[in-house]
Amino acid sequence: MEFESVDAMMEFCRTTGRTYVAFSLVQTGRELGTVVLELFTDIAPATCANFLRLVRGGQHSYEDTPIHRVVKSGWIQGGDVVDGSGKGDPGFTLPDETFAVKNNDKGILGMCNKGQPHTASSQFYISLSPLPFLNGKRVAFGKVLTLDGLESLGKLENLQTYINERPVPDVITTKWHVLYEP
């Protein structure tokens, strides 16, 4: 979706009854872009509440965490609030709330898990292409709102990565904030 102005985007946000958050992608001090996420608070309220808690910060926070994995033509993965390695365990898990949102489009936001039901915690993915094989296995609970955000994520696909798919040098997520909350 594209908007004429920030005011037009905010007006749209107010009409949906959903919550919107934003963050920036930075690599070696250079901003790669801003991503605006629409959270499906009406479909997955508990999953969205967990995500918002991590956006706002506290004991654990998404602020200054890396995108620790970029799967070309697949997804980007971030949200390791412990050590940024992709292996950190924040000490809590979430039940698989719903599989109503399908991973059938680019820009879908979902929770990563440990390959078993009810093991999601803080790590999230954003799809770079349709990922229908995740349907019924990962809780999707939002989407990238703007074309600018999709383009920013698309830039990550072209970055050099280590063998473990971690970008070189690190891509950091920063400036996390709630844009609109009803």
Q: What is the mean pLDDT of each run of 10 residues along the chain (182 residues)?
A: 88 95 96 97 98 95 98 97 95 97 98 97 98 98 94 92 95 98 96
Distances (CA, A) of 149 to 116, 127, 156: 30, 12, 11
Q: Measure the CA–CA gap between 165 and 64, rounded to whole angstroms.
A: 19
Q: 136-172, pLDDT tens digit by residue?
A: 999 999 999 998 999 999 999 999 999 999 999 999 9
CA gap 126, 154 in Å, rounded: 11
Q: Please state the separation of Cα 26 from the chain's center in Å.
A: 15
The single-letter code of the amino acid at 65 is T
> For residue 43, which of 90, 108, 91, 115 has the smallest C-alpha distance?
108
Looking at residue 58, its pLDDT comes to: 86
Separation of alpha carbons 41 and 34, rounded Å? 21
The residues, any chain, with a CB within 8 Å of residue 75's CB and separated by 6 or more, are 69, 125, 126, 127, 128, 131
First to last CA, the chain: 20
d(Cα 100, Cα 154) in Å, to the nearest integer?
Answer: 26
The pLDDT of residue 2 is 83
CA distance 161 to 174: 20
> Is-contact 81 62, C-beta < 8 A?
yes
Reduce the DSSP state of residue 156 to 3 states and report it. helix
Domain 18-180 grouped into CATH 1.10.3720.10: no
Q: What is the pTM of this model?
A: 0.96
d(CA 25, CA 18): 23
pLDDT computed for residue 4 by the predictor? 87
